[in-house]
């Protein structure tokens, strides 16, 4: 099956079907139509998979996917144009250009937490760059996966764009094939499997992974605004099941009580006195992830540090927003990515110490700082390696199509969004064009002593 799919797409690509700007635009328009006409079905699938609140589905998946399509539609003709670059004196006379060439047949393997956006967004880049593409949505979000398998053939060219559904066996079979790029979103363990499979064919990869995203909170802030922005970036993003959701907060010992009180107040305002009943919080995706998260806070030395929340409902797969203060650094909560509604707060003596603490862990996908202190802002930008960063807010950097989105180190490699998606799925072909003049005889043998004097 995997082999046949790749064979068919290779034939379509070799026939040049995906190259014309018109084909690319037609597919992107098809995707826009699909999003507009099937918005209710997409919202329902996301609700089935995650109880995702419809407002979140719209803001974080549907509208972002649509604007990503439109941005590519506006850009492709310009992006496809060869980029003229200066010609070097050594090649005089000549003209030089960079031609963006489609890579060929590419594979997109997507994750369950934003199952619509994380599937369609790389596919948009692959199409814009003129590739044939196979999308393998996550089996852990089955409703969205099935919806893609049903809808994509209705709206885009099925000889060049295909959906293959399935779990590990199906993905493993896909990974045995030769691809021209593999774009993987998910965890670091599977990323290593993807990388090993890609190595067999020297296939380039983009790995969109996660990590522990820190939020440094200085006392020199508008606390009312800061806590709302932290809360919405954590619990308002799929109840913390987001790669760029705040994983832990760092603040000073002196400021922590005020920050905790303020977070408690905002949480109660957002999700009420019984957050397990709130329709504005996604559930945990499945019982495996529920057990994983519940185990993190059952550990005695962690449970003792809960200052807010901690309620769970296994039947409904719900976990309440939970704040923890000064959990020991060697616990599982503080060493691995949390990917759920638990938010530990770590305290330091001076806010400047927080940078060393962040840098003692793997490079995060996103790092956040809340502070009015310009010097601290500059130190943060200059000295914290991260996939991306945002000062005085959370998550929003992802919505700017002029910024690349991707990780560094353990949080991934390669980036996409906006034109970066086009570049991610293009080869930058170096082209030098010369005439027949400008002969430099020294380059031709025999390398006589006379020539070597030059």
Return residues touching ligand NAD (CB under 6 A).
Answer: 109-113, 118, 136, 138-140, 167-168, 171-172, 185-187, 190, 193, 208-210, 243, 337, 339, 365, 407, 412
**Taking CB positions, which residue lies at the least distance from ligand NAD?**
210
Active-site residue, 424 included: no
Q: Please report how close the Cβ of residue 217 comes to ligand NAD at its closest, in angstroms.
A: 22
Q: Which is nearer to ligand NAD, 24 or 52 (CB)?
A: 52
Compute the least distance from the CB of residue 159 to ligand NAD, in Å. 23
Catalytic: which of 208, 237, 337, 424?
208
Closest CB to ligand NAD among residues 190, 399: 190
| Minimum separation from the CB atom of position 366 to ligand NAD (A) | 9
In the complex, what is the shortest distance from the CB of residue 107 to ligand NAD, in angstroms, rounded to a whole number?
11
Q: Residues 69, 160, 213, 243: which is the catalytic one?
A: 243
Active site residue 208: yes
Q: Closer to ligand NAD by CB, 57 or 110: give it.
A: 110
HEC assignment per residue over the chain: CHHHHHHHHHHHHHCCCCCCHHHHHHHHHHHHHHHHHCHHHHHHHHHHHHCCCHHHHHHHHHHHHHHHHHHHHHHHHHHHCCEEECCCHHHCCEEEEEEEEECCEEEEECCCCCCCHHHHHHHHHHHHCCCEEEEECCCCCHHHHHHHHHHHHHHCCCCCEEECCCCHHHHHHHHHCCCCEEEEECCHHHHHHHHHHHHHCCCCEEEECCCCCEEEECCCCCHHHHHHHHHHHHCCCHHHCCCCCCCEEEEECCCHHHHHHHHHHHHHHHHCCCHHHCCCCCCCCCHHHHHHHHHHHHCHHHHCCEEECCCEECCCCEECCEEEECCCCCCHHHHCCCCCCEEEEEEECCHHHHHHHHHCCCCCCEEEEECCCHHHHHHHHHHCCCCEEEECCCCHHHHCCCCCECCCHHHEECCECHHHHHHHCEEEEEEEEECCCCCCHHHCCCCCHHHHCC
30/211 with CB nearer ligand NAD:
211
Minimum distance between the CB of residue 436 and ligand NAD, rounded to whole angstroms?
A: 50
Distance in Å, CB of 254 to ligand NAD, minimum: 32
Nearer to ligand NAD among residue 59 and residue 99 (C-beta)? 59
Cβ proximity to ligand NAD, 117 vs 230, nearer residue = 117
Catalytic residue annotation = 208, 243
């Amino acid at each position: 099956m995997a082999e046949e799919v790749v064979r068919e797409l290779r034939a379509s690509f070799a026939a040049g079907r995906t190259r014309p700007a018109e084909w690319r635009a037609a597919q992107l328009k098809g995707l826009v139509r699909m999003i507009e006409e099937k918005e209710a079905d997409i919202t329902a699938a996301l609700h089935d998979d995650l109880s995702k609140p419809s407002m979140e589905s719209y803001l974080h998946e549907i509208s972002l996917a649509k604007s990503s399509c439109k941005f590519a539609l506006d850009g492709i003709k310009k992006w496809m144009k060869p980029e003229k670059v200066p010609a070097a004196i050594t090649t005089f006379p000549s003209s030089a250009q960079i031609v963006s060439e489609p890579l060929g047949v590419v594979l997109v393997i997507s994750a369950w937490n934003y199952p619509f956006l994380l599937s369609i967004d790389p596919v948009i880049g692959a199409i814009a760059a003129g590739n044939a593409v196979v999308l393998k949505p996550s089996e852990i979000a089955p409703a969205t996966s099935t919806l893609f398998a049903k809808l994509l053939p209705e709206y885009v060219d099925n000889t060049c764009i295909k959906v293959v559904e399935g779990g590990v066996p199906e993905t493993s079979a896909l990974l045995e094939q030769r691809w021209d790029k593999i774009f993987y979103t998910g965890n670091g363990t599977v990323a290593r499997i993807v990388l090993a499979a890609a190595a067999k064919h020297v296939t380039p990869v983009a790995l969109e992974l996660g990590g522990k995203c820190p939020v440094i909170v200085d006392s020199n802030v508008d606390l009312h605004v800061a806590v709302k922005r932290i809360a919405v970036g954590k619990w308002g993003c799929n109840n913390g099941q987001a790669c760029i959701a705040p994983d832990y907060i760092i603040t000073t010992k002196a400021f922590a009580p005020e920050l905790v009180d303020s977070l408690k107040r905002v949480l109660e305002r957002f999700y009420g006195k019984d957050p397990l009943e709130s329709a504005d919080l996604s559930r945990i995706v499945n019982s495996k992830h529920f057990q994983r998260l519940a185990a993190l806070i059952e550990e005695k030395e962690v449970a003792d540090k809960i200052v807010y929340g901690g309620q769970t409902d296994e039947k409904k797969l719900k976990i309440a927003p939970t704040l923890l203060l000064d959990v020991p650094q060697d616990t599982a909560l503080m060493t691995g990515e949390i990917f759920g509604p638990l938010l530990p707060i770590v305290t330091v003596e001076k806010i400047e110490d927080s940078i060393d603490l962040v840098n003692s862990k793997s490079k995060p996908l996103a790092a956040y700082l809340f502070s009015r202190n310009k010097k601290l802002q500059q130190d943060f930008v200059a000295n914290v390696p991260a996939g991306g960063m945002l000062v005085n807010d959370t998550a929003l950097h992802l919505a700017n199509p002029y910024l690349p989105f991707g990780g560094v180190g353990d949080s991934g490699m390669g980036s996409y969004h906006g034109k970066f998606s086009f570049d991610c799925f293009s080869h930058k072909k170096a082209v030098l064009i010369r005439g027949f003049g400008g002969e430099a005889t020294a380059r031709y043998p025999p390398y006589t002593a006379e020539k070597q004097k030059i």
